[in-house]
């Protein structure tokens, strides 16, 4: 598809709406965590599983859909996966047992992984180079907007009508977006089916993992999402208690700070050519850590500034680490990208387990301390990448280029 054609805009709109749908559903429980504690009599850790289990299941499913779609096709799998995600979301509005809620959230994660796993493959096959760059930017923006909107909407809805209404209303909104996705997305024209090749896909991933330059970049991305999701989960508990007493809608509004993340990604992308990707990762770590430390002040305006810095720093580093893996993979780049996303979402799924121990130990100061330990580790790992990058790259007219 060429840029500017009607078919191109239909495909771009479909993928962007699908992306919005997926990430709105994934993150809608984050401002609801304190409500689950009260309604189901849970610990903060058990409540945070309503998000962690989705993200963890996404990480597992990401490794499956790519090889399967090579044989079956991109659109059919995306359609069936989104249908399963939407139906399970609507059903969650009617549960009365928390264990059933967790099962449905796990199902949502397994289904919703289909779109992020295959959307980029669809775009790379169907779009011309210019069309691809524009569409990719809109798709990624929809990721961020969907996650932010899901949190804000669920908080506002829950405050007025209860958390079940958040699932019901976002679920029915997702039905409309799903129908639009099905009818707008053109069928694949350039897809060429190939037999399932689990062995070759597994070997490519194993070889990527054996490459320390790649595996360290993947680990850094996963560890940062590990802290990012976990710290935001426990922050909702901090701010729902004395002296803040923020309501669900106010907690949802906190995630407007994600807008700083979009800026961080864009700035990192521009500076990585001038500074180098490893230096951008280090800068992102320092900004992320500074924002987390600011939340210790205990005054809400300063905490909000800290949240903005956390979002900016996290996405600044994430953009650089993802670019690092993509640029350093000498073969099977799709497998390398899938592995990066696997580590990324695996980290997001496990972060609440790790930081939950620190929360239990010393509440919010413990969470901040646990995050700082991770930042020390990732800064050390990034220094290793910086040494590698310094050996392999040179400056030409102020820009970083390969020797």
pLDDT tens for each residue of 256-267: 998 888 788 878
How far, CA to CA in Å, does 322 sit from each of 4, 183, 197?
A: 28, 32, 25
Task: Identify the sign of the CA torsion 40, 46, 49, 51.
Answer: positive
Alpha carbon distance 360, 368 (integer Å): 12
pLDDT tens for each residue of 98-127: 999 999 999 999 999 999 888 877 887 888
pLDDT tens for each residue of 288-311: 999 999 999 989 999 999 999 999
Task: Give the SS3 label for residue 373.
Answer: helix
Tell me which residue of 118, 14, 19 sits closest to 341, measured CA to CA.
Answer: 118
Task: Give the SS3 label for residue 369.
Answer: helix
Tell me which residue of 304, 299, 326, 313 sits closest to 371, measured CA to CA.
Answer: 313
Alpha carbon distance 224, 344 (integer Å): 8
Q: How far is CA 217 from the centre of its chain?
A: 16
For 206-245, give the DSSP string. HHHHH-HHHHHHHHHHHHHHHHHHHHHHHHHHHHHSTTT-
Q: What contacts 30, CB < 8 A, 6 or more positions away?
A: 51, 151, 154, 232, 233, 236, 251, 255
pTM over cut 0.95: no
Domains of the chain: 1-184 (1.20.1250.20), 197-403 (1.20.1250.20)
Task: Give the SS3 label for residue 396.
Answer: strand
Compute the half-sphere exposure of residue 195: CA atoms within 13 Å on the CB side of its CA. Answer: 3
| In contact, 32 and 166? CB cutoff 8 Å | yes
Tell me which residue of 235, 230, 228, 231 sits closest to 250, measured CA to CA.
Answer: 235
Beta bridge partners of 400: 395
Q: What are the structure tokens assigned to 324, written together?
A: 């690092």
Tell me which residue of 339, 374, 346 sits closest to 214, measured CA to CA.
Answer: 339
Dmax over CA atoms of the chain, in Å, equals 63
Alpha carbon distance 250, 31 (integer Å): 9
| In contact, 221 and 321? CB cutoff 8 Å | yes
Alpha carbon distance 193, 296 (integer Å): 54
For 261-325, give the DSSP string. HHHHHHHHHHHHHHH-HHHHHHHHHHHHHHHHHHGGG--HHHHHHHHHHHHHHHHHHHHHHHHHH
Query: How many of the other CB atoms lie within 10 Å of CB of 200?
Result: 12
pLDDT at 396: 45
Secondary element (H or E) of residue 401: strand 399-402
pLDDT at 402: 52
| In contact, 133 and 247? CB cutoff 8 Å | no
Q: What are the structure tokens assigned to 322, written together?
A: 């993802």
pLDDT at 21: 95
Tell me the pLDDT of the chain (403 aa) as tens digits.
787 788 989 999 999 999 999 999 999 999 999 999 999 999 999 999 999 999 999 999 988 888 888 788 889 999 999 999 999 999 999 999 999 999 999 999 999 999 988 887 788 788 887 777 677 768 877 888 899 999 999 999 999 999 999 999 999 999 999 999 999 999 888 877 777 777 887 888 898 899 998 999 999 999 999 999 999 999 999 999 999 999 999 999 999 998 888 788 878 877 877 888 899 999 999 999 999 999 999 899 999 999 999 999 998 998 888 888 878 877 777 678 788 889 999 999 999 999 999 999 999 999 999 999 999 999 999 999 998 888 776 554 455 555 5
| In contact, 140 and 239? CB cutoff 8 Å | no
Share of the chain above pLDDT 90, in %: 65
Tell me which residue of 354, 151, 367 sits closest to 248, measured CA to CA.
Answer: 151
Alpha carbon distance 57, 116 (integer Å): 13
Could you identify the residue written with the tokens 């820009």?
399
For 90-121, give the DSSP string. HHHTT---HHHHHHHHHHHHHHHTHHHHHHHH
Could you identify the residue written with the tokens 């305006």?
301
């Amino acid at each position: 598809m060429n840029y500017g054609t009607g078919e191109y805009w239909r495909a771009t709109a479909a993928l962007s709406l699908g992306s919005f749908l997926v990430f709105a559903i994934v993150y809608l429980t984050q401002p609801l965590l304190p409500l689950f504690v009260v309604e189901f009599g849970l610990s903060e850790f058990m409540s945070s599983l309503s998000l962690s289990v989705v993200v963890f299941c996404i990480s597992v499913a990401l490794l499956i859909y790519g090889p399967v779609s090579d044989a079956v096709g991109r659109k059919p799998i995306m359609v069936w996966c989104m249908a399963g995600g939407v139906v399970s979301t609507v059903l969650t509005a009617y549960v009365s047992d928390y264990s059933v809620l967790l099962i449905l959230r796990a199902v949502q994660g397994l289904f919703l992984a289909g779109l992020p796993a295959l959307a980029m493959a669809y775009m790379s096959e169907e779009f011309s180079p210019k069309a691809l760059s524009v569409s990719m930017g809109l798709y990624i923006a929809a990721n961020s907007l969907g996650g932010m909107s899901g949190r804000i909407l669920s908080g506002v809805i829950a405050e007025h009508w209860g958390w079940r209404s958040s699932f019901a209303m976002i679920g029915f909104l997702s039905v409309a977006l799903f129908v639009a996705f099905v009818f707008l997305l053109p069928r694949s024209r350039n897809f060429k089916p190939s037999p399932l090749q689990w062995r070759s896909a597994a070997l490519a991933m194993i070889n990527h993992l054996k490459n320390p330059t790649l595996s360290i970049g993947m680990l850094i991305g996963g560890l940062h999402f590990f802290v990012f999701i976990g710290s935001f989960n426990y922050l909702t508990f901090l701010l729902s208690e004395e002296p803040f007493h923020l309501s669900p809608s106010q907690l949802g509004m906190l995630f407007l700070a994600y807008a700083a993340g979009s800026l961080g990604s864009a700035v990192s992308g521009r500076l990585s050519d001038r500074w180098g990707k490893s230096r951008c990762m280090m800068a992102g770590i320092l900004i992320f850590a500074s924002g987390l430390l600011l939340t210790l002040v205990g005054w809400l305006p300063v905490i909000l500034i800290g949240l903005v810095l956390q979002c900016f720093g996290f996405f600044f580093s994430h953009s650089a680490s993802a670019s690092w893996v993509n640029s350093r993979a000498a073969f099977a780049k799709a497998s390398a990208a899938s592995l990066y996303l696997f580590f990324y979402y695996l980290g997001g799924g496990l972060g609440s387990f790790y930081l939950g121990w620190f929360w239990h130990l010393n509440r919010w100061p413990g969470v901040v301390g646990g995050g700082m330990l991770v930042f020390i580790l990732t800064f050390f790992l990034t220094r290793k990448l910086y040494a590698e990058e310094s050996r392999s790259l040179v400056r030409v007219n102020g820009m970083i280029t390969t020797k």
